[in-house]
Structures are given as C-alpha cells and as structure tokens.
A and B are shown apart, each in its own frame.
Chain A
Amino acid sequence: MPTINFTSALKRFFPDLEAEQIDGANVSEVLQNLEKIHPGICDYIVDEQGELRKHVNIFVDGELIQDREKLQDAVGEKDELFIFQALSGG
C-alpha cells in the first residue's frame, strides 16, 4: 500500500495528520481514500473541479505528478507520495 506524507503546514488544519499508508492505484484514488480518514482535507489540496490547486505540489516516488487536472498518475504499492505547498514568496 502506498505511503503518503504531508507538509507540516497541513497539520495546522488537521492536527492528527501523520504519514500513513493509504490504498489507491492512482493519485485521485489515494486522495479519495484520504478524504474518508480526514474529512475536508481534499478541499485544501484540490479545487472544486477536482484539479490540483495551483500552489500545491504532489510528488510520487520523487517525481512531480504530470496530470494536475484529473490526478491519474499511477501509484505503485511501494510508492511514497508527498504533498507539499509550492514555494512562493521567497
């Protein structure tokens, strides 16, 4: 099962957030399952059309995801996901 890691900035809104294993064959599925554990968190990561927010990045196995609109980048069983805020403002 893939492991998902979060920027510490998200812990301000979801204090119980820790790196954890979440099922899913692509980024979208992982986020859907994440939402079940932490209701409301996906609204911080994607917009109302389901697209990755402009200033949020997701890495899979060290690589930025390619599909920021439908989040269909594949996720392997042993992959690590990282959700970061994009650097902005220096």
Chain B
Amino acid sequence: MKLLVGTTKGLVVFEEKDGEWSIKDHYFLGMPVSTIYVDERNNIWWASLAHRHWGQKLHYSEDEGKTWPPVAPPKYPAGSLLASGKAAKLKKIWSIQADGKAGGKGIYVGTEPGGLFYKPDLSAPFSLVESLWNHPSRSDNNQWFGAGRDHPFLHSIEIHPDNPDHIYIAVSCAGVFESKDGGKSWEPKNRGLIAAYLPNPDVEVGHDPHMMHICKSNPEVIWQQNHCGIFRSTDGGENWKLLSDPKKVPHYGFALTIDHDNPDRAYVIPALSDEMRIAPDLALRVYLTEDGGRSWEALTKGLPQANCFDIIFRHSFDIAGQKLAFGSSTGNLYLSEDGGESWNCLSSSLARIDSLCFIP
C-alpha cells in the first residue's frame, strides 16, 4: 500500500513493506503540490501544482510516478466574468474527481474562482461546465463569495456510485449543488444548513461547506464538515441535520472522512474556531461517530495532547479500510491501522500538508 502526500514543498510517497512505512519517492521538489488524486479505475495519479510565479499546473502519471506529463490546466473562456465584473482567471485547482464512467479516464476539476471543469479523456482539453457557471446565484456576490480566500472555490465533487450523471458539488462559499443530468442543470441543496455569519442564516445559497463526502454503499447519506458545524443528510441532500454543538468540540473544522461501508460511521478532526484555527485545547484529537453523529468519541492514543498547533486541512485526511492517515498544517503525518484507536507519527518534518490519499 502507498500513501501519497502533497505538501507545499513537493509530493512525498510513503510505502508499506512488511508492516513498515517509509518514504519511497518524492516528486516536484520545492513545488507546492496542492491536490493529489488517484483515479481508482486506472491508477492514474493526478497532481496539481500551485506555483507562486508560474500559475496553476496539472500533471498526471500512468506509471506510478516515474513520469509526470503535464496537461493544459483549466482555462476560463474569454468573457467569463466574476460577480465583480472582472475577468475570471484560474487562481487554484481545489479538487479532482473521476467522472464515474466505467473504463473511462474523464475527470472533473473544481477551481477557484467557483468553477467546475470537465476533461473527458487525457487528450481532450478541459471545458468549463457552463450550466453551473451560469447558475443565477453564481453572479450574485451575496450568494457566492470568498471565505478565507478572495473568491468562492469548489472543493468537493462527489459522483453517485450508481449513476455518473448524478453529481454533487460543494462550494465555499455558496453551498451544495446537485445535478441529475450529467451537469446540464444544477439545484442548490442546502436546506437545514446554517449560515451563522449572515443576517439570514437560512439562505438558499450562501453556505460554507468545508468538505463533503457521499457514502458509496448508501448514497442517500451525505456528510459535510461545514463552517457552522457537522451536518449529515440521509435523503440525498434534500435535508441536512446539524450533528454538532457550537459550544462543544467537535464543531468547527475542515477534515472529514467517512466509512463507505457504514453510513453511520465518520471521522472529523476539529479546529478551534474560525478566528483561532489551532488544535482545540492545543491537543490533536480525531473524533469518531458510529451512530450517525448523535455522539462523538475522541481518539487520542498516540497523538500529542499538549502544545499542539496543528490543524488538518480538508483534503489531508483519508481512509482505506482500517487505515486512516492525516497530515497537518505544520507538516506532521499520522497513521492509524486500527480504525483510529491508535496513531503513529510517520513524519514530523514534512512541509505543510495540503492533500493526501491512500493507494490500496
């Protein structure tokens, strides 16, 4: 098994051999690897780079990292305007997701500012999903707006496991949108979410999901870690229910991963409030629910419980069976091989970790 770790200073590949994990390779040294994604259909590795000088780039590897050809990154068509009236330009690639079509190589990419792009195969260029870009809410800066970034960004793309035309996306800030026709049309799906930072917290669009996952074995169940708490839907996104208490931990955070075989089982790694963004109580704790979010158990064995400033970003937490891994803002990488009961530090000397994923 491998673990790909995207850091601000390169892609680091850990490998397990005879029960021991070690660094096998590294790529893109010194470059900010903002997103890592592995297409399970064909084992193509995707890496997006967020160069400070040279713009956003996208590479893929069909040979487990030996070679990394570039592909032309998504481009906003001429005339694409932000709500401000300024020309839209690619600021960052936030998410990569296979299109769900069996045997294919098509991917979706979520971007900042607020774009969804589709690339049907390795040779075809990206095209902007115009139906979402032209959704009436998108050009209203009371409904789509930046939070912590200058512009709204599309960080979660989830495909229904039984129907590649059924797509959910999540935008920070705008909320969740659903398409049932392969991206031709989109409906907001934010009923029950709370936008506590707005005069009207019950808006249709203007929410701040931080991370969203659909349960592959029971796709009616969708989880999200939101700016305003942890939410779950059990009816395919029609209604969301708050599962956390703003006065308690967990509530705020970014990292969420779920058990795809059990719709009641999920993990979060909270952060302390939007203005602090440090580990709550300066202790690194993973929280597990096994009852659909009614109760949360802190998992701490092997994790530092004092003087800890790490937070875990939205794409830096992954699960593969009983194995879980997360990487932190301060370059620490932790692994559990027993469903989160205990944790080992694989490295404490990486750069900031923005993304990671297992390869079985």
A58 CB → nearest B CB, Å: 13
The answer, yes or no, to whether B52 is at the interface (CB within 8 Å) is: yes
B37-52 CB mask vs A (1 if < 8 Å, else 0) is 0000000000000011
Q: Of A10, A44, A86, A89, which contacts B55 at CB under 8 A?
A: A44
A12-51 CB mask vs B (1 if < 8 Å, else 0) is 0100000000000000000000000000100111011101
CB of A48 within 8 A of CB of B54, answer: no
Given A48-B89, A49-B78, A49-B87, check contact A86 B53 (CB 8 Å). yes
List chain B residues, Cβ under 8 A from A85. 53-54
Interface-located stretch among B69-77, B190-198, B229-237, B289-297 = B69-77
A6 CB → nearest B CB, Å: 12
CB of A55 within 8 A of CB of B89, answer: no
List chain A residues, Cβ under 8 A from B78. 49
A13 CB → nearest B CB, Å: 7
A48 to B90: give the CA distance in the assembly, Å. Answer: 8
CB of A47 within 8 A of CB of B90, answer: yes
List chain A residues, Cβ under 8 A from B90. 47-48
CB of B72 within 8 A of CB of A43, answer: yes
B87 CB → nearest A CB, Å: 5
Given A48-B89, A48-B90, A49-B89, check contact A55 B72 (CB 8 Å). no
Size class of the B contact interface (CB-based, 8 Å): 10 to 19
Query: Dominant SS at the B interface?
Result: loop
A10 to B51: give the CA distance in the assembly, Å. Answer: 12
State which residues 43-81 of A face B: CB under 8 Å: 43-45, 47-49, 51, 53, 55-56
Size class of the A contact interface (CB-based, 8 Å): 10 to 19
Most buried by A among B52, B70, B72, B90: B52
Q: Of B53, B73, B87, which contacts A55 at CB under 8 A?
A: B53
List chain B residues, Cβ under 8 A from A44. 51, 54-55
A45 to B72: give the CA distance in the assembly, Å. Answer: 14
A14 to B267: give the CA distance in the assembly, Å. Answer: 43
A48 to B55: give the CA distance in the assembly, Å. Answer: 10
List chain A residues, Cβ under 8 A from B55. 43-44, 47, 53
- Closest residue of chain A to B76 (Cβ to Cβ) is A48
A88 to B52: give the CA distance in the assembly, Å. Answer: 9
- Closest residue of chain B to A10 (Cβ to Cβ) is B54
Could you list 24 A-B pairs, sorted by A, with CB under 8 Å? A40-B70, A40-B72, A43-B55, A43-B73, A44-B51, A44-B54, A45-B54, A47-B55, A47-B89, A47-B90, A48-B75, A48-B76, A48-B89, A49-B76, A49-B87, A49-B89, A55-B52, A55-B53, A56-B53, A56-B54, A85-B53, A85-B54, A86-B53, A88-B53
The 7 closest A-B pairs by CB, nearest first: A48-B75, A44-B54, A85-B53, A55-B53, A47-B89, A49-B87, A53-B55
A43-B72, A48-B89, A49-B78 known; 10 other A-B pairs, CB under 8 Å? A9-B53, A10-B54, A40-B72, A43-B55, A44-B54, A48-B76, A49-B87, A56-B53, A86-B53, A88-B52
**Chain B residues in the interface with A (C-beta under 8 A):** 51-55, 70, 72-73, 75-76, 78, 87, 89-90
**Chain A residues in the interface with B (C-beta under 8 A):** 9-10, 13, 40, 43-45, 47-49, 51, 53, 55-56, 85-86, 88-89
